Structure 1
Amino acid sequence: MNCKHIKHMAALLLSGSMLLSAGGCLDLEEESAGGGRTESVPQATFEQSTITVTPTGETGTRLSASGDGTLTIDRRRRETVTPMGAEGTWTVFVYMCGSDLESEDGSGSEDLEEMQAAATGSNMRFVVQTGGAEEWSAGEVDPDRLDRFVICDGDMKKVGSEPGASMGDGSTLANFLAWGIASYPAANMGLVLWNHGSGSICGVCFDELYEDDSLSLPELGSALECVYPDMTDTFRFIGFDACLMATVETANMLVPHGDYMYASQDTEPGYGWDYTALGDYLGSHPETDGAALGKLVCDSYYDACVDCDSEEEATFSCTDLSRMDAFMQSWNETARQMYALTENPEQLAELVRGITGALNFGGNNKAEGYTNMVDAGCILENTRRLLPGAKDTLAALEACVTYCRNGERRQDATGLATYYPLCIQGSEELSVFRNVCISPWYLSFVDKIAYGADHEGMLEGYRKDLWMGEDSLFWSEDALETSDWSWAYWNRDQGISIGLPGEDGETHVEYDTEPYMDEDGSYMFQLSEESLWETDSVYNCLYMILEDERLLDLGADDDVYMDWDTGEVYDCFDGYWFALPDGQPLAAFIAERGEDYNIYAAPIILNGVDTNLRIRQDYDGYGYPDMTTTILGVWDGIDTDSGQAARTIRPLNKGDVIEPRYSAYDPESWEASTFVGSEFVYTGDPALEEFILPDGDYYYGFCINDIYGGETYTDYVIYNVEGEDVYYYE
């Protein structure tokens, strides 16, 4: 990337620092599940509501790999399909885990009102189970129990109430579905999982009453398998009114149980789905199919995002689950080609840069956390020059995704994401992925990259045979117990290191020219050819030296000059940094890189609560003479304990109180502490600028990110800012 500003430097020996201010209304005759006999469906009562089933762990899908990595897909399938109700009837089951979305914002209660506002007619009903929130705005809902409601044509009736249990437990979902299908069958049935979502690794439905326990993908598949014997047809759709659940791993788990998946690749606004539009459409179009309904859900969701000014990064897609097997076979063959490139360092580097440069979702930066969800189609598009099979696999993906709606910043989204370890934060992350990965060759590729991260880029000792052949550990229940393989790199945190001056980084980076300050006052280095092959990106890191000698982390940016042909890297530091209008610098970390914009995340305290300021910087032309910087809003990011992703960016309101939040480090022990700036009252103007930093000394260095997810930090140099001038120490 080119430098944003023109640097004015002079050599000077100075010192200085500056301390910042410290009942079912379906009364028509319905066809029974037995096929042929019709009878009226009885109104459920509290007495008959309890049905108990126990998930067995089976999901309806088994994947296995032959010795050469050929993928075998074994799914449970019905020989005959019989509708479970009269033609044109619909039941949409909503598994509403309220969590903080309800207890803080009342979003669940608002959606119950939307369902009541729908003109469903007598042929369509919502059947809802509530739970998972400390309190509910809707007075009919008991937060201490699992309440069940039927909403039909404006009428909402409580028809059941169960003892409290975790909505993040598969048995809770299985029991709701078993009861609902027995009590309210229809010719067409849909399922919506309502709550937070966090993609393929951490799943969906985080229950705040049970320490944010969530439904993993295997738990979800097992719950659906529980009710499979009681159904004579599949769900017309299985949807997620939750963030980040439109993934290939999710879709694979749903194939035996549904016709279509409706979900978002990215975060959702708190508003979520438009249930009035959904109910109205089914009320007036009872004959619709899953594809047409999916288009309606996509469009109405996007329209709702427009109404609340959150459409810029909106995504929503409708996936035909019947076409997933063809995509998975093609993806596996393309992943075989990915793995083959691990034998060629130069091509492997190009491949990984294509993957890490693909559109990704859910933060994926130091300030906000990582979900590691990357757009599958963008991966294929970015790497098709290297992978002969990418074109066919991309076509298979496009056949699966029958419809999608994307906002301005998500125009390249293709409808389904997949896992790639941009940064591994949780010690069990790779273990979880092994249980949901759709391809033995892709698992081998991802695992080999993780192995490389743990072995300083040395891949020679890696064994792919763990995932292939008769004794394959791919989707094996006892994989870790039966293998003599060392899983050390699976069982420890590999998150971003602090990267402080004096800390030892990775040792495998080699230089043709060691980092030094040239005569023009530019800090630079030149990578060796081998290290250049292993480099994914280079960022600059900045720390303010406080009066007590602590180091205040001001973040990381891509504002460096990088020559990918020669391996030369130069700093572009000019003393300017992101700041609030009152001049307080922000700890800004790059979160997203577009063709003509960057997105940054800056930790703040907003009205007394920790969150992250989202900042967009648009630029145009060489040297960026026409940059504009704008506050997009705030996003809480990824919970480091549960993996739960916050819903989408929230706008700031005039009068909000913002306090910049930083990490400060002791230079001797590297012990971290939190440093908070002064209060700034937001005026309602979202414009920001890069201001010259306060007078003082600053540590500046580079972070070299390698293709294995590792980081190496150069030595740091000291720059001094004095007024409009920037000096360096000889």
Structure 2
Amino acid sequence: MEQNNRPRAREKRVTDNGKGVGRKGEGLGTGPVGSSDVYSREEGSGERHISKGAAIGGGGGFLAVIIAILFSLFGGGGGAGGGAGAGSAGSNQGDNLQMGNGQSAVSTDNGVGNTTDSGHKLDTTVAPGSREKRTKILGENNDKITFMVYMCGTDLESKYGMSTADLNEMASADFGDNINIIVYTGGCNKWKTNGISSKVNQIFQVKKGSMTCLVDDDGNKAMTDPDTLSHFIKWCAENYPANRYELIMWDHGGGSVSGYGYDEKNQKSGSMTLSGINKALKDGGVTFDMIGFDACLMATAETALMLDPYADYLIASEETEPGIGWFYTNWLTKLGANTSMPTIELGKLIIDDYTSACAKSCRGQATTLSLIDLAEFAHTVPTEIGSFSKSVSSLITAKEYKKVSDARNGTREFATQSRIDQVDLVDLANKMDTAEGKKLADTIKGAVKYNRTSLNMVNAHGVSIYFPYQRTSYVDKACSNYSAIGMNDEYSKCIRQFASLETSGQIQAGGSTNAAASLFNMLGGGSGGGGDAISQLIGSFLGGGRSNIIDDLDENNTAFMDESGISTDDAADYISNNYFNPDNLKWNDDGKVAKISLPDDQWDLVHTIELNMFYDDGQGYLDLGLDNIYTFDDDGAMVAETDRTWISIDGQPVAYYHLSTVEDGDKYTITGRVPALLNGERINLILVFDNDNPYGFVAGYQQDYKNGETDTVAKIESELKEGDKLTFICDYYTYDGKYQDTYPIGDITVSSNMQISNTDVGEGKVKLAYLFTDIYNQKYWTPTIDR
């Protein structure tokens, strides 16, 4: 790794207000909080970022939204409080549920300084040869529009009132009689709006400050069952016919592999995969003007190609959404004044309102939303994806896997904590640096008619795609989905080949490793560089020795290796000439300064470097996580940080895990997470460090899901309330090398000016190790340094 290409290290500020670290009380018994790349744990992949509070009182007045936004703007934190009687059995058909009235507290000034259109203006052109739009707009304000809002409330509503806030926004709009907003509710244990049932699914109409119940009891069907969605679509088309139909799917999102939705009441139903959505739309029998996802991570190439038979446009987010979600009032009102508004102009309004609202109330949170012309996308992109895939496959078979891996590692990635392996397709195509990649990038930019992001989301161009790297256990599932939705076969071949070589590289190195290997001197060196030995290891893996070698992989999800077309001998030959040798990870330590020097060809195989600190409390070790802190001397040796300080919030050391570093010239954004309990509930705080805030700030928090509760990703909550209690937690190892439990290590009271700094961890001894990650995403810990 050339010195000027090394990823940026976090800039630390050392203060003397440290409270020290140590176990407080009993173990939590909730399982490890350590990096999912490192520890054996099933980690929920998420849902939406959260920043809406629950509604206040009765039906959740619109005042709740105003208070939530004002508090977030002026540092008060607190979200709006919850409605009293959420979750009644349901109102009688025709009853009105009074919603909030009043004007929006969010300005929709498109010139807000915290967002960018990524250089992409509204594009009204269409590539020649693209199909005609299926929806015919009548004009002269004569169009009748039916919005079908499929609202699976889930824990986003039961805990944070996000559905209620969005329903308030819809009800506060003035849109007349030519627009019908029909909402299907379900999937939630406790609604914050009185009259919405927590026992059964229901159908409502939202209008003029109220909600009218149209179907009081539609059973308790899982919201992630395609039949539930298709039933709702058919019901709306029959009862509220229109010449323009719009579908908005509201909930968690998982993107290319996991699809849409998490039903809190029917957790075993899983998510609705893209093939499931395809079935629902096909059975629903309606052609839509627009399909939008007020959910995370659904702006993918796979989603767009699947939706083409059913809609003209897609509006969705590449990244995890802030909890504020779409802001409905302004654009609905403007559409009501002109129901003949062109769809691309409506899409621009939706995106502008969303990104402007997020910029004002979700400081530091990543924000993306794009408008994709499905007709143009389906006409132009598949051929270019096929050509691009062939060019990448050619690189891999021409023994240039490293070039592909470097490009994938450097590409803008989304929901990094969840390891769903979704990356921006334009960025990936450009970084591959092939003629086919450049052409694909230009083609996608043409199909994305409008795209806006927050300033910290460089290289997010509006469409993502699944490309494995963080874990390969989803490859078989992804390729199966591709077959169901008609995705290009060449792309499946490409990712199978990449995943096969990556996995082979991990097999050579000895498979899964963790921090305990360094802590308890159990470091291994893999097979070494011999091609025959590597071939035997890979052969053994393919022959049935797959269990417990690489986390998440077994005989049920490794068909991609057999189907990749890369022979064991070819893989072994490449790896023998391109492998990281952990024997080089030796410290030159004089007791004051510790350094590691690597040959240039070995540095070139390193993708990331992170510092791991263990605190000895006299009975075992507290694992304080992974921080991207390091320096290099003039000779190119890495110098360890040995000052015994660790990242702290208000002087309290915390377990911190670096998630991503994104650089664009001199600008950078570093993101990490801190496991904690918020008023007793397990979360991850999100910390952000950037040019304007080099010492960081708390950008929000995200629900922490356990035991495979959901494979989708949740929104990020930004509203920590002043006076709330944050209890920081971390993993603990006994001296005999066993993970014992996760313990509280200190707490603070939430305030509007929480300070992030490095402080001394206390009187106990510490052990320091660095984690190196190579081009195969294999982890190597250095021996520990005692201080």
Offset at residue 219 of structure 1 (A): 0.4
Superposition pairs of residues 665-704 of structure 1, within 5 angstroms: 665-704=733-772
Offset at residue 84 of structure 1 (A): 11
Q: Which one of the candidate residues 583, 588, 596 is aligned to 1:517?
A: 588
Between the aligned partners of 1:492 and 1:220, the Cα distance in structure 2 is 35
**Match of 1:329, as an amino acid?**
T
Per-residue deviation, residues 306-364 of structure 1 (Å, max 9, x unmatched): 3423475211111111122312221221122112222455x4323322222222222x2
Offset at residue 399 of structure 1 (A): 0.8
Between 1 and 2, higher relative CO (CA 8 Å, sep ≥ 6) is seen in: 2
Between the aligned partners of 1:236 and 1:2, the Cα distance in structure 2 is 44
Between the aligned partners of 1:18 and 1:113, the Cα distance in structure 2 is 44
**Match of 1:288, as an amino acid?**
M
1:598 has 2:670 as partner: yes
Alignment correspondent of 2:499: 450
Asked whether the 8 Å contact 1:240–1:263 carries over to 2, the reply is yes
Alignment correspondent of 2:686: 614
Q: Which one of the candidate residues 711, 721, 740 is aligned to 1:643?
A: 711
What SS does the aligned partner of 2:610 have?
A: strand
Alignment correspondent of 1:116: 171
Between the aligned partners of 2:752 and 2:170, the Cα distance in structure 1 is 34
Alignment correspondent of 1:107: 162
Offset at residue 667 of structure 1 (A): 3.9
1:241 has 2:294 as partner: yes
1:194 has 2:257 as partner: no
Alignment correspondent of 1:711: 779
Between the aligned partners of 1:223 and 1:6, the Cα distance in structure 2 is 51
Between the aligned partners of 2:505 and 2:678, the Cα distance in structure 1 is 41
Between the aligned partners of 2:305 and 2:210, the Cα distance in structure 1 is 36
Alignment correspondent of 2:420: 371
1:128 has 2:183 as partner: yes
Per-residue deviation, residues 350-392 of structure 1 (Å, max 9, x unmatched): 3322222222222x24xxx3232212122123332xx222221
1:260 has 2:260 as partner: no
What is the percentage of aligned positions where both structures have the same residue?
25
Alignment correspondent of 2:198: 143
**Match of 2:279, as an amino acid?**
S
Q: Which one of the candidate residues 474, 481, 492 is aligned to 1:435?
A: 481
Q: Name the CA shift for 1:537/1:90 in 2 (closer, same or farther; >3 Å).
A: same
Asked whether the 8 Å contact 1:542–1:701 carries over to 2, the reply is yes
Residue ranges of structure 1 left out of the alignment (5+ in a row): 9-16, 23-44, 48-76, 460-484, 497-505, 621-625, 721-730
Q: Which has the higher strand share?
A: 1
Between the aligned partners of 1:193 and 1:129, the Cα distance in structure 2 is 10
What SS does the aligned partner of 1:105 have?
A: coil
1:540 has 2:611 as partner: yes
Alignment correspondent of 1:630: 697
**Match of 2:478, as an amino acid?**
V
Alignment correspondent of 2:323: 270
Alignment correspondent of 1:298: 351
Between the aligned partners of 1:650 and 1:168, the Cα distance in structure 2 is 27
Q: Name the CA shift for 1:706/1:439 in 2 (closer, same or farther; >3 Å).
A: farther
Per-residue deviation, residues 176-218 of structure 1 (Å, max 9, x unmatched): 1112112212111000001111222222121100016321111
Between the aligned partners of 1:410 and 1:644, the Cα distance in structure 2 is 21
Between the aligned partners of 2:350 and 2:195, the Cα distance in structure 1 is 27
Q: Name the CA shift for 1:341/1:567 in 2 (closer, same or farther; >3 Å).
A: farther
Q: Which one of the candidate residues 622, 627, 631 is aligned to 1:552?
A: 622
Between the aligned partners of 2:207 and 2:544, the Cα distance in structure 1 is 53
Q: Name the CA shift for 1:268/1:514 in 2 (closer, same or farther; >3 Å).
A: closer
Asked whether the 8 Å contact 2:274–2:481 carries over to 1, the reply is no
Q: Which one of the candidate residues 229, 240, 248 is aligned to 1:173?
A: 229
Offset at residue 270 of structure 1 (A): 2.5
Asked whether the 8 Å contact 2:648–2:758 carries over to 1, the reply is yes
**Match of 1:374, as an amino acid?**
V
Alignment correspondent of 2:564: none
**Match of 2:278, as an amino acid?**
G
Between the aligned partners of 2:366 and 2:296, the Cα distance in structure 1 is 12
Asked whether the 8 Å contact 2:469–2:499 carries over to 1, the reply is no
Alignment correspondent of 2:279: 222
Q: Name the CA shift for 1:152/1:574 in 2 (closer, same or farther; >3 Å).
A: same
Between the aligned partners of 1:487 and 1:284, the Cα distance in structure 2 is 65
Superposition pairs of residues 197-216 of structure 1, within 5 angstroms: 197-211=253-267, 213-216=270-273
Between the aligned partners of 1:122 and 1:490, the Cα distance in structure 2 is 61
Between the aligned partners of 1:167 and 1:134, the Cα distance in structure 2 is 13
Alignment correspondent of 1:97: 152
Per-residue deviation, residues 551-600 of structure 1 (Å, max 9, x unmatched): 2111112223479x999544234322101223x31111111213334222
Moved more, 123-132 or 443-452: 443-452
Alignment correspondent of 1:470: none
Between the aligned partners of 2:684 and 2:657, the Cα distance in structure 1 is 10
Offset at residue 155 of structure 1 (A): 5.6
Offset at residue 632 of structure 1 (A): 2.1
Ranges of 4+ aligned residues in structure 1 off by more than 6 Å: 2-8, 77-86, 485-493
Superposition pairs of residues 16-165 of structure 1, within 5 angstroms: 19-22=22-25, 87-154=142-209, 156-160=211-215, 161-165=217-221
What SS does the aligned partner of 1:553 have?
A: strand
Superposition pairs of residues 430-509 of structure 1, within 5 angstroms: 430-436=476-482, 438-456=487-505, 494=551, 509=580
Q: Which one of the candidate residues 379, 394, 397 is aligned to 2:444?
A: 397
Moved more, 124-133 or 145-154: 145-154
Between the aligned partners of 1:80 and 1:410, the Cα distance in structure 2 is 33
**Match of 1:97, as an amino acid?**
C
Alignment correspondent of 1:316: 369
Asked whether the 8 Å contact 2:296–2:318 carries over to 1, the reply is yes
Offset at residue 491 of structure 1 (A): 11
Offset at residue 140 of structure 1 (A): 2.8
Offset at residue 489 of structure 1 (A): 6.7
Offset at residue 111 of structure 1 (A): 2.3
Offset at residue 19 of structure 1 (A): 4.0
Offset at residue 135 of structure 1 (A): 2.1
Between the aligned partners of 2:704 and 2:232, the Cα distance in structure 1 is 30
Between the aligned partners of 1:219 and 1:562, the Cα distance in structure 2 is 51
Between the aligned partners of 1:342 and 1:667, the Cα distance in structure 2 is 44
Alignment correspondent of 1:27: none
Alignment correspondent of 2:430: 381
Between the aligned partners of 1:509 and 1:169, the Cα distance in structure 2 is 46
Per-residue deviation, residues 136-161 of structure 1 (Å, max 9, x unmatched): 22223222222112234556322223
What SS does the aligned partner of 1:206 have?
A: coil
Q: Name the CA shift for 1:410/1:146 in 2 (closer, same or farther; >3 Å).
A: same
What SS does the aligned partner of 2:169 have?
A: helix
TM-score (norm 1): 0.76
Offset at residue 79 of structure 1 (A): 12
Between the aligned partners of 2:307 and 2:636, the Cα distance in structure 1 is 46
State the superposition RMSD in angstroms.
Answer: 3.6
What SS does the aligned partner of 1:410 have?
A: coil
Superposition pairs of residues 339-350 of structure 1, within 5 angstroms: 339-344=393-398, 347-350=400-403
